[in-house]
Chain A
């Protein structure tokens, strides 16, 4: 059976956008095209958890159909992988719920089914989460205030790839930073199954003053379509190879 590919954008930021279109709007647009947008807001160590500027974090994830989490730097690693996994489950569960509604009627969802059957459905959801292929565009805010947090971000991304590569399904990541030098975003790492190679790239990141979150999200969204084109070409040749088995 051919399992589908889940598409996610993971936005890591520490505050409010201040340039370009509304990021929540762009996230909604991405969601319409089957891309989930997850957001992680990083706090300063002396910052309290309900900061006004970080409300945007929640809004973007809500309209992007994803998961948001606001954290202190020291638990970033665990959070990044938890958010990604949770968003995968959420997306798959969304599909399953839609199917259930079609079969059982419009007011049915997993919660309205008795615990026994719910268990069986969750087993299927888990199976899919484990074996689906996953593509993640990581979008790292490198505006000036993020400077001190970049080493932690780097570590948590390497950690994410350890977690995801322990799954059965295939993974591909690419990383962009924003703002870019002259563009809205800048490529740090092209589509790759591993993130170990980012160690050399990360320290060279320069931080800028503006935070064009909206335009950056839009660029991130486009990475998937470029990718799909390439992949469909590659898949054709891969299919031929598989016959050899």
Chain B
């Protein structure tokens, strides 16, 4: 999506700017810009010697809605689905404008494309499963991610785990998707509604992996489904998963666990195949081992007989 030209949406904080909350008086020192989205700008900041991410915007209502989502996600038991929310407040700038901001944990990671480039395609299956797992959790707690895209994903290291960073599009199940990006949106491709339901996220999930291998993206045609199927088939790295990917595009999965099971099946099968190959190799290399074992046994039996005689 191109940057929207909403009026006075520009806020530019220089490194070194001190931000003090209007309500709770917490202080943050801006260290640098991390990114800019449709709603606000995210900065790296420091507070009490710790680093954190601070999102600030003049669109107070949209920010409040995001904070509500982050809070609800924080209440989901078990794994952490969104970034951890640290503070919510307003900031009155020196020229008198009031901005809303919130502070969340700073997740330091690598982009998905860079990681896969450096670490190989083995990780495709892993990330696909990790994302499906997270989506399953999210869906079960009554939410749909909505704006799932390459830009909203980062890979954390040790242990390697894919995480989503921007929850601005997260919508309650059954409502209309709040925020989306055309390339990832099934409505744009004419392949479904913008109703928040698990299958909406699964469609976007496939588009994430297509975008990964088509960095320039591609244009839509009248026969979208055919086109997307073709695009999936043309990527060698996605070959093993092409069936579940196509099923997700066609909206055949009602839940993420259905898709996860299909992907797991594929992962197991390919593991078995490679294990069988290894076993074959082992047989050949085992022959000297058997000879040796045989030799040792003969010697042992000899000693045993000798011990019987004496």
Which A residues have a C-beta under 8 Å from some C-beta of B?
A: 49, 69-71, 75, 77-79, 82, 89, 93, 110-111, 114-116, 118-119, 122-123, 125-126, 130, 159, 162-168
Give the contacts of B57-74 with A (CB-CB under 8 A): 60-61, 64-65, 67-68, 71
Contact between chains at A119 and B71 (CB < 8 Å): yes
Q: Can you list, as one digit per residue, whether each of B62-94 has a CB less than 8 Å from chain A (1) or not (0)?
A: 001101100100000000000000001110000
Q: Does B23 contact A (CB under 8 A)?
A: yes
Which residues of chain A are within 8 angstroms of B175 by Cβ–Cβ distance?
Answer: 130, 166-168
CA distance A162 to B177 in the complex (A): 11
Q: Of A77, A110, A111, A115, which contacts B67 at CB under 8 A?
A: A115
Which residues of chain B are within 8 angstroms of A123 by Cβ–Cβ distance?
Answer: 68
Which residues of chain B are within 8 angstroms of A168 by Cβ–Cβ distance?
Answer: 174-176
Contact between chains at B182 and A110 (CB < 8 Å): no
**Among the interface residues B2, B61, B188, which one has the most CB atoms of the partner chain A within 10 A?**
B61
Give the contacts of B188-235 with A (CB-CB under 8 A): 188, 193-196
Which B residues have a C-beta under 8 Å from some C-beta of A?
A: 1-2, 4-6, 23, 60-61, 64-65, 67-68, 71, 88-90, 98, 100, 174-177, 182, 187-188, 193-196
How many Å from the CB of B115 to the closest CB on chain A? Answer: 29
Which residues of chain B are within 8 angstroms of A69 by Cβ–Cβ distance?
Answer: 4-6
Given A159-B188, A166-B194, A122 contacting B5 (CB threshold 8 A): no
A-B residue pairs in contact (CB < 8 Å), sample of 25: A69-B4, A71-B5, A78-B1, A78-B182, A82-B4, A110-B61, A111-B98, A115-B64, A115-B89, A118-B60, A119-B68, A122-B65, A122-B68, A126-B65, A130-B175, A159-B187, A162-B187, A163-B187, A163-B194, A164-B176, A166-B175, A166-B187, A166-B195, A166-B196, A168-B174
Q: Which 6 A-B pairs have the closest CB atoms?
A: A166-B194, A166-B176, A166-B195, A122-B64, A167-B176, A115-B88
How many Å from the CB of A224 to the closest CB on chain B? Answer: 23
Contact between chains at A111 and B60 (CB < 8 Å): yes
Which residues of chain B are within 8 angstroms of A115 by Cβ–Cβ distance?
Answer: 23, 64, 67, 88-90, 100
Which residues of chain B are within 8 angstroms of A119 by Cβ–Cβ distance?
Answer: 64, 67-68, 71, 88
Which residues of chain A are within 8 angstroms of B98 by Cβ–Cβ distance?
Answer: 111
CA distance A89 to B64 in the complex (A): 13
Q: Which residue of B lies closest to A114 (CB)?
A: B23
Given A164-B176, A166-B194, A77 contacting B182 (CB threshold 8 A): yes
Contact between chains at A110 and B60 (CB < 8 Å): yes
